Amino acid sequence: MDQKRVELKRQFSAKRVILDGSIFSGLIGTLIVGSLSYNAEMWHGHYPRDIQEKAGPMSQRAKRQRRFFALPFVVIFFGMPLSSTLKLKRQNKGTLSFLTAFLHAYALFGFATFFDIPVLYSLLIVLWQPDFVVLAGTKGMASYHEYAFPLVGFLKGLGIALVPSLLIAFLTSSKRAKGLHEAL
């Protein structure tokens, strides 16, 4: 086995991914379900295209409300994987390779994306479909029951997750991360 594989095997922690990924997914899921129940229209752009068209444009009220929910979402979305990767670095006595940091952060984003899209979306919107997730004027539309839409969203999410994972790996594996590590 080459040196990078040995280092990765020694540094990576599936247990940390599962534990922190579960917490991450729970926090994100709570924000999503909470904001959906408050006003599903805030998620207008995350519904299938035909549902968006039938519902009409997002109201100014929903746009303002979306900004309110955006701050905690962004803080959790970036903060949780960053914090977890720094914990992993601490667990490895302050040493973490770029590859290990990247794979750890990417695994967390993948974990949360899997929970959010195929699990949460499929269970909440496709199967259960409580009234609070249905946009006004779209009740009974066939697109609410499609599994392809959340699958495509999951795959897009995995692609998008590459960027913050690379950034987190850069921040946590470089010498500049020392001050950040000590702050958390």
Q: Provide CB contacts within 8 A for 88, sequence distance 6+.
A: 11, 12, 13, 16, 96, 100, 101, 104
Q: Output 10 or 78, whichever has higher pLDDT.
A: 78
Q: Output 31 or 147, whichever has higher pLDDT.
A: 31
Q: Is the pLDDT of residue 6 over 90?
A: no
Q: Is the pLDDT of residue 118 over 90?
A: no
Phi/psi region, residue 153 (left: phi>0; alpha: psi -120 to 50; beta: rest), is alpha
CA-CA distance, 98 to 121, in Å (whole number)?
32
CA-CA distance, 64 to 106, in Å (whole number)?
31
- Asked if 171 and 177 count as a contact pair (C-beta separation under 8 A), the reply is yes
Question: Strand ranges (DSSP E) for the chain?
Answer: none
Q: Which amino acid is at 1?
A: M
CA dihedral (39, 44, 46, 49) in degrees, to 10, reads: 150
Q: Is the pLDDT of residue 181 over 70?
A: no
Q: Provide CB contacts within 8 A for 175, sequence distance 6+.
A: none
Task: Output the CA angle 139-40-58, nearest 5 degrees.
Answer: 90
Distances (CA, A) of 180 to 37, 66, 79, 96: 36, 30, 12, 14
- Asked if 127 and 68 count as a contact pair (C-beta separation under 8 A), the reply is no
pTM of the model: 0.87
- Range scoring the smallest mean pLDDT among 1-5, 17-21, 56-60, 78-82: 1-5
CA nearest to 96, candidates 177, 183, 180: 177
